[in-house]
Amino acid sequence: MREEIISYAPPTAPFPFWIEMTGISYCDGSYHIARKNSGVWVLEYIEQGRGEVRVNGRVFTAGRGDVYLLPEGSDHDYTSSREEPWVKKWINARGPLCGALCRAYGLSGVYHMNGPDLSGEFDALRAMTRATPDAAGAAREGAVLFHRMLQKMAAYGAGKEENEPAGALKAYLEASLERPVTLADMAAHLYRSPAQTVRLFRTAFGETPCRYLQQRRLEGAALLLAGTRLPVQEIARRFCFADAHYFANVFRGKYGLTPSAYRRGNRVSARPGGSARGGALSR
C-alpha cells in the first residue's frame, strides 16, 4: 500500500473552499476508509482496479473510469478489492462552496458516475498543490479545479442518457449475485433486446454483463473462502454456480488456484457464515 499525499492546515482566514488533502493511492487488499457524519467532501477518480463504496445506505462497485462523490455529513466507507486493487486520484475538501456547486449543477445525491475522465484535472490539482505551499493559495486555485471537475460531471451526466440503462443494469446485477439471472432477465429489466442489452453494458463498462456478473460472484466467493468456514460446495451454490466442479474450474481460471488452495493461502479470521473486512484507515 502506497499513497502520495499533500495536506494543508486550515487557512487562518475564512474561505468558502479549502483543500484538506489531495493525492493518489496505490491500494492493496487492506485499504478501507470509513467515516461517520463526514466532515469532508470526498471526490475520487478510479484509474484502475475495483472496489466497493457504501454511502448513506447505498452500495455500489467503483471500477476503472468511475467517479464517486461523497458529501459532507454522510456516513460512508470504501474498500479496495484485494484481487484488483484500486489506483485512484482523490481530493478531500471542506467549505460551503462544495455543497453550493453540487446543488447548482444538479449533483446533490449523485454519488457515483461512470465515464467523465477527471484524470487531467486531478493531475493539474496535484501539480498546483506541489507548487503552492500555503493553504490560502491552494484554496483559491483548488476551488477553480474543483469547480471544473463538477462542471465536467454535470455535462457528462446531461449528455449521456444512453449510460443510464447500463448503470441500472449494473445495480441490478450487484443485487443479484446470489440469485439466478439470465441474459433474458437482464434484457427484460431494461425493456430491450438481449443484443441491445449487451451492447449498452459493454459500451459503458468494457465487458459483457454476463462476464461482469460472473467476476463479481467469483470475488464474493473468494471473500467467503478466506473469511468463513462454509464448505466449497455451499459457496458455489450460494453464488449460483451449477456445481462445485464447474465452480472450481472457473475459480481457478480467475485466481490460478483451486478454491481449497486459495482458502489455505488467504485465510483470515474465519467465521461460520460471515465475511471478513479490513480495518479502517485514518484518512
What confidence tier does 13 reach under pLDDT thresholds 50, 70, 90? confident
Once rounded to an integer, what is the mean pLDDT over residues 31-43?
96
Instruction: Give 184-197 pLDDT, tens digit per residue.
Output: 999 998 888 999 89
Pick 49 or 279 by higher pLDDT.
49
Is there a domain that residue 213 lies in?
A: yes
CA pair distance 129, 121, nearest whole angstrom: 12
If asked whether residues 115 and 145 sit together in one domain, one would say yes
Domain that holds residue 204: 163-266
131, 174: one domain: no
pLDDT tens digits for 153-196?
Answer: 988 875 544 457 888 898 889 889 999 999 999 999 888 899 98
Q: How confident is the model at residue 203, as a pLDDT?
A: 77
Please, what's the b/e burial string for 45-68 (b: 16 or more CB within 10 A of its CB; e: otherwise)?
bbbebbbbbbbeeeebbbbbbbbb
Same domain assignment for residues 108 and 207:
no
Residue 178 DSSP class: T
Q: Residue 34 class from Cβ within 10 Å (0-12 exposed, 13-18 middle, 19+ buried)?
A: middle
Instruction: Please name the helix (run of DSSP H) or strand (run of DSSP E) that holds residue 34, with its range, or none.
Output: strand 32-35
CB 61 within 8 Å of CB 113: no
Mean pLDDT of the chain: 88
pLDDT at 282 over 60: no
pLDDT over threshold 70, residue 254: yes
Q: Return the C-alpha cell found at 203.
A: 459500451
Predicted pLDDT of residue 133: 87
Whether residue 147 is found in the same domain as residue 169: no
**CATH number of 61's domain:** 2.60.120.280
pLDDT of 268: 58
Residues 198, 223 within the same domain: yes
The CATH code of the domain that includes 192 is 1.10.10.60
Q: What's the CA gap between 200 and 161, in Å, rounded?
A: 11
Convert the pLDDT of each residue in 225-248 to its tens digit. 988 889 999 999 999 999 999 999
Task: Return the residue matching grid coordinates 484485494.
Answer: 82
pLDDT at residue 57 tops 70: yes
Pair 146, 44 in one domain: yes
Q: Would 274 be classed as within a structural domain?
A: no
Instruction: Collapse the DSSP code of 87 into the 3-class scheme (helix H, G, I; strand E, B; otherwise coil) and give the result.
Output: strand
Coil, helix or strand at residue 229: coil
Q: Where are the beta strands (DSSP E) in 76-139?
A: 76-80, 87-94, 112-114
Q: How far, in Å, CA of 115 to CA of 45, rounded?
A: 10
Question: 159: Cβ–Cβ under 8 A, 6 or more apart, which residues?
Answer: none
Q: Which residue has the cell 467467503?
A: 224
pLDDT digits (tens, 9 = 90+) for 78-128: 999 998 999 999 999 999 999 999 988 888 888 888 878 999 999 999 999
Cα separation, 238 vs 15, whole angstroms: 52
pLDDT digits 0-9 by tens, 124-145: 999 999 999 889 999 999 999 9
| 271 falls within a domain | no
Q: Which residues pair with 93 in a beta bridge?
A: 19, 41
